[in-house]
Chains A and B, each alone.
Chain A
């Protein structure tokens, strides 16, 4: 990989004066205008449908944000694209599946406290399921780091990268084996009931068998939970990294490991901690994703993982706000493309956005050029 600090000029496809560069720029602008035109046309023609698509994109984008945080934090500290991260997300979903299906963990409050209100009961139950998924994923990620990445910390970066891909395949296809699990999609039982509302002159609950008036926008408690959980996660992370001792130590370690050790920082512990935090967020994302799109399988982490990775690069890998913004862009791109261009195109468009952004700003939206260390 080339040092990014070399690319400072806005567009670096070919030499700026050449004819080709102008064609390239022209085509990009044309493409952008075309996309804007399609969006504007649809916005005017059917504003409520457009708003609906934006909401759906937000739901997706917020889940991607939870995964992207892990990519960006781990990259920040060990300069590794942890390709197994999307599979940790999958494991989070599976842990919650087994917790609900086999342990009935989501109903423990109702069993232990029969008089508990259903609302409080299902909140406690769902939080328990999420916590269990988080704990398992944190342990998994720390184990992966210790076993697969730590021995390669001083090896060329490409070695760890290939190992990460190997770990990813292992998690995906080990689960796929007949005696472990299977390749089937299995339907996921939510830990709580979905409740939907529509917005049309105020917010109304949707009742079964009653059609919503035309032009309504609908959303569910799942949507609300995803938004709230992700925003809380983001605030928690900002607080952690900016204000706490371990957070400052993470930034110090990411900048200069030997000097961090001279401060008394146990660099291995800080790295484990970072993998752990990333995995906890991925687990949260996995459970929420399964609740939102209730069908799971061992390959379910591949695309969300890739999209979140793209989101992290788009936002500027290593930057926490960047991961968040990148993920929101990816969510919108996917949702709006699927609705207004074509569903099969959505992944192609998502990755095209990455290419275009990187052409214009190689370090991503919030990324800073890698500084030469003194």
Chain B
């Protein structure tokens, strides 16, 4: 098992945002986390990558207990988090943003290889290499955020709404790239508003409702569940 989460509780002050959730991601999988606004999807990812403290529960990654590990340590273990809302470093150029994505990689040649890899998926970024991150269009920023998250060669990448703000063609494109990344061996934990698309590329999925996992199964099972159909797929 690559990632194992047990009985996670997270509070924001008095708000009990995660009320004991457990799930896992296996090597090579794409796992989706779907749920309504405010369900706690982003909170789950933030807890995994060490950005917020848990009240209780445990997180095991590659057999190592990372429950209390700081964010910058967790990255070095091979978990990369592409946060919600892109979070591009606006005053840094595209190249510098990518450099920061590869911060933990010391080998220059390796960084250049990864940069080329990212440009293969996002040729648009190559054209804008010296442009400031803050001046990119929303869609370009999303590409940069995803590309930056890939720069450290993660074993597991957490993607928080990678299709947000993209045009339909780019949404198709980003899901194609997600599958491609996965085919190259990276496991993916995917949070998406676009549940249909997410389920179509995923192996398994969990449904999160106000801090609790209410449904788990293969992507097919989840997609054919009547309640899911009604609530998230709009069918």
Interface-forming stretch among A215-223, A260-268, A351-359? A260-268
Are B81 and A262 interface neighbours, CB within 8 A? Answer: yes
Contacts of B81 in A (CB 8 A): 262
A265 CB contact (under 8 Å) in B86, B90, B100, B148: B100
CB-based contact A248/B99 at 8 Å: yes
User: Which residues of chain B are within 8 angstroms of A256 by Cβ–Cβ distance?
Assistant: 87, 89
A251 with B103, Cβ < 8 A, contacts A261-B71, A262-B71 known = no
A263 and B101: CB pair below 8 A? yes
Interface residues of B in 75-109 (CB under 8 A from A): 75-76, 80-81, 83, 85-87, 89-92, 96, 99-101, 103-104
Chain A residue with the shortest CB-CB distance to B79: A262
Question: Is the CB–CB distance between B83 and A262 below 8 Å?
Answer: yes
In angstroms, Cα B80 to Cα A265, docked, is: 13
Interface residue ranges of A253-288 to B (CB < 8 Å): 255-256, 258-267
Residues of chain B within 8 A of A155, CB atoms compared: none
Known A252-B89, A266-B72, A267-B72; contact A261-B103, beta-carbon cutoff 8 A: no
> Does B70 have its Cβ within 8 Å of any Cβ on chain A?
yes
Summed over the interface, the residue pairs from A and B with CB atoms below 8 Å come to a total of 67
Given contacts A255-B91, A256-B87, contact A261 B100 (CB under 8 A): no
Q: How far is the CB of B11 from chain A (nearest CB, A)?
A: 16
Within 8 A of B (CB), among A224-246: 245
Query: Which of A260, A261, A264, A267 has its CB near the most chain B CB atoms (within 10 A)?
Result: A264
Q: Does B50 contact A (CB under 8 A)?
A: yes
Contact in complex: A374, B85 (CB < 8 Å): yes
CB distance from A250 to the nearest CB of B (A): 11
Question: Are B85 and A265 in contact (CB-based, < 8 A)?
Answer: no
Q: Is B152 at the interface (CB under 8 A from chain A)?
A: yes
Q: A263 contacts which chain B residues (CB < 8 A)?
A: 72, 75, 100-101, 103-104, 148, 152
A248 to B71, CA, bound (A): 19
Docked Cα-Cα span, A287 to B85, in Å, equals 48
CB–CB B152/A264 < 8 A: yes
Residue A9 at the chain B interface, CB threshold 8 Å: no
- Asked whether A371 is an interface residue with its Cβ less than 8 Å from the other chain, the reply is yes
What are the residues of chain B within 8 A of A262 when measuring CB–CB? 49, 51, 71, 75, 80-81, 83, 87
A371 to B72, CA, bound (A): 25
> Count of B residues near A, CB < 8 Å?
27
Residues 100-128 of B, flagged 1 when their CB comes within 8 A of A and 0 if not, give 11011000000000000000000000000
A249 within 8 A of partner (CB)? yes
Chain A minimum-CB-distance residue to B87: A259
Q: Which of B72, B83, B86, B92 contacts A264 (CB 8 A)?
A: B72
In Å, the complex CA distance between A251 and B90 comes to 10
Within the complex, the shortest CB–CB distance from B157 to chain A, in Å, comes to 11
A34-B227 Cα distance, complex, nearest whole Å: 80
- Distance A374 CA – B133 CA, assembled complex (angstroms): 13
A251 with B91: CB separation less than 8 A: yes
Cβ A261 vs Cβ B85 within 8 A = no
**Alpha-carbon distance A371/B135, docked complex (angstroms):** 13
The distance in angstroms between the C-alpha atoms of A262 and B76, with both chains bound, is 10
Give the complex CA separation of A261 and B69 in angstroms.
12
| A-contact 0/1 string along B177-192, CB 8 Å cutoff | 0000000000000000
A245 to B80 CA separation, bound complex (whole angstroms): 19
Q: Which B residues between 139 and 178 are near A, CB-CB below 8 angstroms?
A: 148, 152
Would you give the shortest CB distance from A38 to chain B, in whole angstroms? 41
Closest A residue to B81 by CB, please name it: A262
A256 to B148, CA, bound (A): 15
Which residues of A sit under 8 angstroms from B71, Cβ to Cβ? 258, 261-262
Q: Are the CB atoms of A264 and B90 closer together than 8 Å?
A: no
Question: Are B104 and A264 closer than 8 Å at their CB atoms?
Answer: yes
* Contact call B76/A264, Cβ cutoff below 8 A: yes
Contact A259 B89 (CB under 8 A): yes
Residue from B50, B76, B86, B100 in contact with A248 in the complex, judged by beta carbons closer than 8 Å: B100
Point out which of B103, B104, B134, B148 has the most chain A C-beta atoms below 10 A from its C-beta: B103
Central interface residue in A251, A259, A260, by most chain B CB within 10 Å = A259
Most chain A CB inside 10 Å of its own CB: which residue of B83, B91, B99, B100? B100
Residues of A within 8 A of B104 (CB): 263-264
Task: List residues of chain A with CB within 8 A of the CB of B76.
Answer: 264
Distance of B141 from chain A, by nearest CB (Å): 9
Q: How far is the CA of A39 from the CA of B87 in the complex (A)?
A: 50
> Which residues of B are in contact with A by a Cβ distance under 8 Å?
49-51, 70-72, 75-76, 80-81, 83, 85-87, 89-92, 96, 99-101, 103-104, 134, 148, 152
Please, could you name 16 A-B residue pairs with CB atoms under 8 Å apart, sorted by A?
A: A248-B92, A248-B100, A249-B100, A252-B92, A252-B96, A255-B90, A256-B89, A258-B71, A261-B72, A263-B75, A264-B75, A264-B103, A265-B100, A265-B103, A371-B134, A374-B87
Given contacts A263-B101, A264-B152, A267-B72, 18 further A-B contacts (CB under 8 A): A245-B103, A248-B100, A251-B89, A251-B91, A251-B92, A251-B96, A252-B96, A255-B89, A256-B87, A259-B87, A262-B51, A262-B87, A263-B148, A264-B75, A265-B100, A266-B72, A371-B90, A374-B86
Which A-B residue pairs are the 6 nearest by beta carbons?
A264-B75, A261-B71, A264-B104, A259-B87, A263-B103, A264-B103
